[in-house]
């Protein structure tokens, strides 16, 4: 987890301790923060989180939202929670060695399949050409796929 996400998680925990920061994405001057809550994310949650991140407004435009059906998977506990579901895993540059041979031209850096396991170090995904173990460090981005 990067420093910015850690800082944002702390700001959110101070205001909304039951809200989990799933993922923080920084794209140019836009900061996207995906949150979750055990009872579901309400507009009130997103408003309070956005206010809690006010100190970041001098550097970023802030967007706070719920995960939706394409829920991001960013931490080992996210992958463990959704074992048995389908996910898309995009590998970081230089990590194509985790793509099984014969996966096809569209699988240069991306795999879609069923999450079959998740340890503290890697996620295991069943793809059409077999089962692949991918270290979390090799994952650029991942999300659930609607079934």
Per the CB < 8 A criterion, the answer to whether 82 and 73 are in contact is yes
Tokens in use for 54? 């006010």
DSSP 67: -
Does position 100 have pLDDT exceeding 80, yes or no?
no
Residue labelled with tokens 């991140």: 53
| Distance separating alpha carbons of residues 132 and 111, to the nearest angstrom | 9
Mean of the per-residue pLDDT values of the chain:
88
The number of beta carbons lying within 10 Å of the beta carbon of residue 129 is: 15
CATH topology of domain 76-144: SH3 type barrels. (2.30.30)
Does position 104 have pLDDT exceeding 60, yes or no?
no
Tokens in use for 75? 């931490």
What residues does CATH 2.30.30.100 cover in the chain? 76-144
Does position 101 have pLDDT exceeding 70, yes or no?
no
What is the band of 38 on the pLDDT scale with cuts at 50, 70, 90?
confident
What residues does CATH 3.30.300 cover in the chain? 3-65
Report the top-level CATH class of 3-65: alpha beta
pTM of the full predicted structure? 0.72
| Distance separating alpha carbons of residues 99 and 134, to the nearest angstrom | 9
């Amino acid at each position: 987890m990067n420093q910015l996400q850690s800082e944002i998680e702390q700001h959110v925990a101070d205001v909304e301790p039951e809200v989990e920061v799933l993922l923080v994405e920084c794209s140019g001057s836009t900061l996207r923060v995906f949150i979750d809550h055990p009872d579901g994310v309400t507009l009130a949650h997103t408003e309070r989180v956005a206010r809690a991140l006010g100190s970041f407004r001098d550097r970023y435009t802030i967007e706070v939202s719920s995960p939706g059906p394409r829920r991001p998977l960013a931490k080992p506990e996210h992958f463990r929670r959704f074992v048995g579901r389908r996910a898309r895993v995009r590998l970081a540059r230089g990590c194509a060695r985790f793509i099984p041979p014969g996966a096809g031209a569209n699988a240069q850096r991306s795999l879609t399949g069923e999450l079959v396991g998740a340890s503290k170090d890697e996620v295991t995904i069943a793809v059409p050409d077999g089962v692949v173990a991918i270290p979390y460090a090799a994952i650029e981005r991942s999300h659930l796929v609607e079934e």
